[in-house]
Amino acid sequence: MARPRLALRLATVLVAVAGVRAAAQPVPPPNPASLPDPAAILLPPVANAEPAPRTRSALPEREPAATMRLDADDAVPVRTADYDRARITSTSYSDADSARRKAADDPFGYLTDGMSRRRSAAIDDDRGLGEKLGERIDELLGRGKKAVDGGGRRFESDRAFANFISPLSNPFYFEDPRSLTEVRAIGLFQGIPKDQGAFRGGNAMFFGGQARLALSERWSVVVNKVGVSLFNPGDGSTLPDKVGLSELWVGPKFVIVRDPEFKTLLSAGATFQIPLGAGGVYQDTGRLSVVPYVTAAQKLMGTAWGTFNGMAAGGYSFSTNRDRSDFFFASAHLDFDVMNKNQFYPLAELNWFGYTTDGQARAFGVEGRDLANIGAANKGANLVTWALGGRYRSKNSFWEFGAAFEGPLFGPRGLFNYRVTVDLIWRY
């Protein structure tokens, strides 16, 4: 029993002595070849890096942790058009209030904005000459953008110029430059001066209208005048009261310049005045008159309270025989789009008629301007009139109502003392 206990104590002593010696033994340094490269872990990727020159070192040589090569062929340049587009977008106005604030700061800002957009489009346009020429021919033949892109309905009015309104006074000669599809009812009441020898006062009236059909954004057909005319001479006149059908005026119109960005329009047309009406109201004079004309519209100045728009037209009426009188005419129009709502428009207009030849159909000394080509001796007469009025356009843009009062400014009055004009337009 004593011997096993002695052996157990001896073994315990030996184990304790071995543990103390193991703790006192120094730990050998690790093998450098087995350690990871700190640079491969901590350093970022090296672009276009070349291997480091071989040097004697305690650490093993390594390849770069990541190599990224950029070739010149893979680089994507920034185009000028992208820069221009980003600049224009960053300065654009996203709502009506911002647009009004911009107009207040720069009334003509829309002009410079339009130039920037045009420059950007020109830079970004990679089409060939043949494709551009073909597209231009399509427009001239009446297959405009609507027909090519399918973006509009057939015979629809040009909606890119909704800020414009149609002129009001001198309605049969003062043509709107837009390509429109509409029906326009017109009523005129004109006073005749009492000192006019043949008529001795009285009045003249017209009730009828016009019609327009837009074949494209460029081409349209216009019926300028169709209806009923009335002449009621004053007391003491030997002329009777008469009523009858008016002449028929019809012709084509072509938009030469159409710029929605600058709000610019220039059109030309020709009206054929066919004397198919009643002789008692002077609507059967001669054979035919042809009236070539030009008409234009332009946005003038924008403000926070509204926008000014201008319009002008002019032409010459020449007859195919000597019965009818020939004359020049011109009209000017200025309106104000109240609060830029495209609804309320006060307007002012000027009209001029200047006769160059005498008609030989009737022994009168006066002419009828737009109401009748009487065929009288009136060469050298020049009459200028003014008109003030306004228009209201419905919110859906299908209806327009206008009224104006017109008076003489200077020149021989002839049959004109004053005039009241009202109209109602339905536009498609």
Residues ≥6 apart with Cβ < 8 Å to 76: none
> Quick one: pLDDT band at residue 257, thresholds 50, 70, 90?
very high
Give, for 82, the enclosing helix (H) or strand (E): helix 80-90
pLDDT of 147 > 70? The answer is: no
Q: What is the pLDDT of residue 236?
A: 86
pTM (2 d.p.): 0.68
Percent of the chain with pLDDT over 90: 60
CB 303 within 8 A of CB 309: no
Average pLDDT score, the chain: 80
- For residue range 196-230, list pLDDT tens digits in order: 888 999 999 999 999 999 999 999 999 999 999 99
DSSP track, 337-366: EETT-SSEEEEEEEEEEEE-S---SS--S-
Of residues 13 and 248, more confidently modeled: 248
In this structure, are strands 399-410 and 67-68 parallel, antiparallel, or unpaired?
Answer: unpaired
pLDDT of 376 > 60? The answer is: yes
Q: Which tokens go with 313?
A: 């037209």
State the Cα–Cα distance between residues 177 and 218, nearest whole angstrom. Answer: 10
State the Cα–Cα distance between residues 331 and 285, nearest whole angstrom. Answer: 25
Which candidate, 210, 201, 150, places its Cα nearest to that of 181?
A: 210
Percent of the chain with pLDDT over 70: 64
Residue tagged 């009818």 (tokens): 324
Looking at domain 159-427, its CATH class is mainly beta
Of residues 8 and 371, more confidently modeled: 371
CB 324 within 8 A of CB 360: no
pLDDT of 1 > 50? The answer is: yes
What average pLDDT does this structure show over 289-299?
98
pLDDT of 295 > 60? The answer is: yes
Q: What is the pLDDT of residue 106?
A: 59
Q: What is the pLDDT of residue 144?
A: 43
pLDDT of 62 > 90? The answer is: no
Q: What is the pLDDT of residue 258?
A: 96
> Quick one: pLDDT band at residue 98, thresholds 50, 70, 90?
low
pLDDT of 161 > 60? The answer is: yes
Q: Where are the domains of the chain?
A: 159-427
Give phi and psi for 230, each to the nearest 5.
-135, 135
> Quick one: pLDDT band at residue 262, thresholds 50, 70, 90?
very high
Residue tagged 């990541």 (tokens): 66
